[in-house]
Amino acid sequence: MFGVVFPNRSFPMDISAFSQIDTFHWVLDMNTFVGEAYDQIREMCIFLLNNFTLPPDKALAVYIQSPGSQFLFCGAVTLARPSAVLSLPWPEPGGQMQLIAADSAPISAKIGVSVEDLASLQSLDVTAGKRIERLALKVGENLFNFMQSFCGVDGSKLVVPIDILDRWFKKFQEKAKRDPEYLKGFVL
């Protein structure tokens, strides 16, 4: 039916790694896969297997859920797009954390996969807009923190050196050249 790979984290896994909830829903318990470090898993590749025929008006939708939070749509695959690498923007754990009895299973993060009507899904690239927004916010925050370290206060105005943007951009580029992982921290 389908398989998944967590880049740099796993070998390909087929549907048997997931618990089947019903005919059209599967869940991967991240606690059994990675334990409490689920939020370190930032992307996954999902793909349709050759012998699986998904109706043309259907999609396999992927959702993620942090402990105590709601499921969040990440993307989908269809016959026209049989594989996708999806970002996993884990929501903050919810405030509805229940007390766990000693004999009950721990609350864990989950990845859900379901067969859904293609027309009812949001854009298949819904996370792309969120990724761009997150990138812009992180770059802006980096610039603000850099400028703040050179600021002076003149009444109610912040005063910065005239070449501050050039200095920040040069430092930003140098860090990116030295450490290829640096920019990935802005996107994830």
* Neighbouring residues of 186: CB distance < 8 A, sequence distance ≥ 6: 134, 135, 138, 139, 142
In order, the DSSP letters of 46-107 are EEE-TT----TTEEEEEEEE-TTS--EEEEEE-SSS-EEEEE--PPPPPS-PPP--TTSPPP
pTM, to two decimals = 0.62
* Neighbouring residues of 143: CB distance < 8 A, sequence distance ≥ 6: 165, 168
d(CA 62, CA 123): 12
| Higher per-residue pLDDT: 95 or 174 | 174
pLDDT tops 90 at residue 175: no
Rounded percentage of the chain residues whose pLDDT exceeds 90: 19
Q: What is the pLDDT of residues 64-118, one digit of tens each?
A: 998 888 888 888 998 888 999 988 888 877 654 444 444 444 478 999 999 999 8
